[in-house]
Chains A and B, each alone.
Chain A
């Protein structure tokens, strides 16, 4: 068998390099032959938007895989849960901004509490940051309500999140913690963007709430199911079957609750604007910006924060990490918090791009898995790259066989497994 790219290379480290380019080329080249080239920029843009959303889901999935050894078949249904949560919250927000405002504060408070509580041992400084964030938030919200009562709740919360992030950033910068400071900067930027967009758009606040609910739900599921299995030393096989069970139960519980109708997260007519050869709707732009900012923020968390280092250490070698004093259960809860929040947001964004229905997340599972494997399973950066490639490939399929859009994801998956099972960036293990 061939060396390097072939399936003979399994379970052995393989040098990166030309193989990656070759297999990527092999996966993409056929599509360039059949697609109308004048439309290529449009497909590329649509693919980029879809890819950005896929990336949010894929980074969470690959993180969970790396740390828990779990190929979570329920991950797609977390997206669906996020979209339906946003649907519910959007009506709450539309009915009463102050109620939603109270809800958002509650979610934030719980999130801060969770971070603070689970962040204690191993990364004690997180507590100081949490306190700074909480203090900043409360001050900003109070000031906003006192001096600008005419602003709506969403604006105030957005401004508050921004202020809290700035406070955390300053606190970290003073202690020369570059990663956290950078992260806080990204969060502040995101909050400002959200606050601007939130004027008259209940979906933004609803999306934030939905992400919080899915994140907390994922942590709850960890406590109820995954932690128990982990402690029992469950095999990869039993974890897979349980995850399918969770997926079926979650999806069909949503179906019982909300019915099978296709719903839209956005009402009213959407007008596309022209940008050179590309047409884009405001929603597409919002989705792209939000997803890109979150992907960047996740990357910063993983790369530059103590928490991120702990996560990567766990992914590398769980026993070694535990031996060196990292509290496995705490880090795992953070992983679920992060993966759940990302999946929740991805679901809301996907709901804005297409429609909300009980199978939306399930249909995305295969593309997300393909993205994860393409990037190298267990590698968040790889998942990011893989998702964008996959988004573009899938959107290009629309040109000649729209009914087989889901099938292209499968073809990419098979191509990756045959040509380069460890992915383009070389994941943790094949």
Chain B
């Protein structure tokens, strides 16, 4: 990432934060530490979620329209193994990752040898079918209510008086701050890992595959295997994001995993710049700040701009179309990295 795009990223985020503050102040709405922290933690979790997609699409050219399924599998596996089987989180978290990866491989095997569209159709279908299963198999999943009372990591540490005192001093609830710190650590680790991976010769293979699959295969590269590996890494990262999402909200049900959640990740990747890892983080913060600005407008209710409202989702759709048409490299992406033309 060059200096100019860093300035654009920081500038955009800062400008949006100032805009949010002004819009809220004009309405007489408070902008508390807890409020800002909630946005920030959501943005961190979704940055992680979008990073997985950025690896799959931005580097390997795989279209995953059912990304939310991997998030849901992570959250549900973690909750079910701890609640129904009594597993500790140390075992439940890897289990969630494994289930998610297995699901990804299952979907990938019949589709990735075919044209690009097939994976997109199958993943979007799989995510919907999975949601139907989560909704209907109440015995394990809790049905429409979802599993309740699952444990959160390091809850003892975050409940200790010294940590609570620190959290209170910045005006944020201690559990939220704790999960936020974990999310930030995980995000940083994944960011470094993915950066090293994509900068390696294997990363060059992925880009070669994305730009011309036949050429990559012709020089003897195992394109099929590379695609499976990329999908697995993406599934694993998405499942971690799912668990963090569950811990952030402390509650979830199948409605937390509607298809639109996948497209939040898509617009984050497209906003941030396809193939730019730091861009995914900037895109995530931009998106959620944009949502909050829209939500704080006087006409928000009438236009459906409240959280999860129809107007908000329509906005995501319009942004996707406009960015893909007029600025396919997003805010930060290098020109030509996302090759919009043939």
Q: Which residues of A are in contact with B by a Cβ distance under 8 Å?
A: 7, 10, 71, 73, 225, 228-229, 232-238, 240-242, 244-253, 255-256, 260, 358, 366, 369-370, 373, 403-404, 406-407, 409-410, 413-414, 417-418, 421, 429-430
Against A, the Cβ 8 Å flags (1 = close, 0 = not) of B110-128 are: 1101111110111011101
Choice from B122, B128, B266 contacting A406 with Cβ under 8 Å: B128
Given contacts A238-B340, A256-B311, contact A417 B129 (CB under 8 A): no
CB-based contact A245/B328 at 8 Å: no
**B234 adjacent to chain A (CB < 8 Å):** no
Question: How far in angstroms is the closest Cβ of chain A from B34?
Answer: 29
Identify the closest chain B residue to A8 (Cβ). Answer: B113
Q: Name B272-323 residues within 8 Å CB distance of A.
A: 303-304, 310-311, 313-314, 316-321
CB-based contact A233/B341 at 8 Å: yes
Choice from A71, A255, A373 contacting B304 with Cβ under 8 Å: A255
Bound Cα distance A260, B341 (Å): 38
Given contacts A237-B116, A244-B266, contact A417 B310 (CB under 8 A): no
- Smallest CB-CB A-B distances: 4 pairs: A248-B317, A245-B320, A249-B317, A252-B314
Question: How far in angstroms is the closest Cβ of chain A from B133?
Answer: 8
Bound Cα distance A256, B114 (Å): 37
Choice from A7, A246, A256, A410 contacting B126 with Cβ under 8 Å: A410
Choice from B311, B316, B325 contacting A229 with Cβ under 8 Å: B325
**B63 adjacent to chain A (CB < 8 Å):** yes
CB-based contact B314/A256 at 8 Å: yes
Q: Besides A235-B341, A245-B319, 10 other CB < 8 A contacts?
A: A235-B339, A237-B57, A240-B120, A244-B266, A253-B314, A256-B310, A256-B311, A366-B125, A370-B125, A414-B110
Complex contacts, B122 vs chain A, CB 8 Å: 413-414, 417
Complex contacts, B321 vs chain A, CB 8 Å: 225, 242, 245-246, 249
Given contacts A256-B304, A406-B128, A413-B121, contact A248 B114 (CB under 8 A): no
In the assembled complex, 28 residue pairs joining A and B whose CB atoms fall closer than 8 Å, in A order, are A7-B113, A10-B113, A229-B325, A232-B341, A235-B340, A237-B57, A238-B328, A240-B117, A244-B65, A244-B263, A245-B316, A245-B319, A245-B324, A249-B321, A252-B310, A252-B311, A252-B313, A255-B304, A256-B314, A358-B310, A366-B128, A373-B121, A404-B132, A406-B129, A406-B132, A410-B128, A410-B129, A418-B110
Choice from B116, B121, B304, B316 contacting A236 with Cβ under 8 Å: B116
Question: How far in angstroms is the closest Cβ of chain A from B223?
Answer: 13
**B260 adjacent to chain A (CB < 8 Å):** yes
Complex contacts, B340 vs chain A, CB 8 Å: 232, 234-235, 238
Interface centre among B114, B121, B136 (most CB of A within 10 A): B121
Bound Cα distance A403, B339 (Å): 42
CB-based contact A240/B63 at 8 Å: yes
Bound Cα distance A107, B154 (Å): 65
Complex contacts, A237 vs chain B, CB 8 Å: 57, 61, 63, 116
Q: Which residues of B are in contact with A by a Cβ distance under 8 Å?
A: 57, 61, 63, 65, 110-111, 113-118, 120-122, 124-126, 128-129, 132-133, 135-136, 260, 263, 266, 270, 303-304, 310-311, 313-314, 316-321, 324-325, 328, 339-342
CB-based contact A369/B121 at 8 Å: yes
Identify the closest chain A residue to B302 (Cβ). Answer: A256
Question: How far in angstroms is the closest Cβ of chain A from B183?
Answer: 26
Complex contacts, B316 vs chain A, CB 8 Å: 245, 248
Bound Cα distance A366, B133 (Å): 16
Bound Cα distance A10, B213 (Å): 15
CB-based contact A407/B132 at 8 Å: yes
Identify the closest chain A residue to B342 (Cβ). Answer: A233
Bound Cα distance A409, B124 (Å): 12
Choice from B311, B324, B339 contacting A241 with Cβ under 8 Å: B324
Identify the closest chain A residue to B319 (Cβ). Answer: A245
Question: How far in angstroms is the closest Cβ of chain B from A392?
Answer: 19
Complex contacts, B65 vs chain A, CB 8 Å: 73, 244
CB-based contact B263/A248 at 8 Å: yes
Bound Cα distance A366, B130 (Å): 14
Interface centre among A249, A253, A366 (most CB of B within 10 A): A249
Complex contacts, B111 vs chain A, CB 8 Å: 417
Bound Cα distance A430, B115 (Å): 6
Complex contacts, A252 vs chain B, CB 8 Å: 304, 310-311, 313-314, 317
CB-based contact A248/B136 at 8 Å: no
CB-based contact B121/A241 at 8 Å: no
CB-based contact A240/B313 at 8 Å: no
Complex contacts, A418 vs chain B, CB 8 Å: 110
CB-based contact A241/B270 at 8 Å: yes
Identify the closest chain B residue to A258 (Cβ). Answer: B310
Question: How far in angstroms is the closest Cβ of chain B from A418?
Answer: 5
Identify the closest chain B residue to A242 (Cβ). Answer: B324
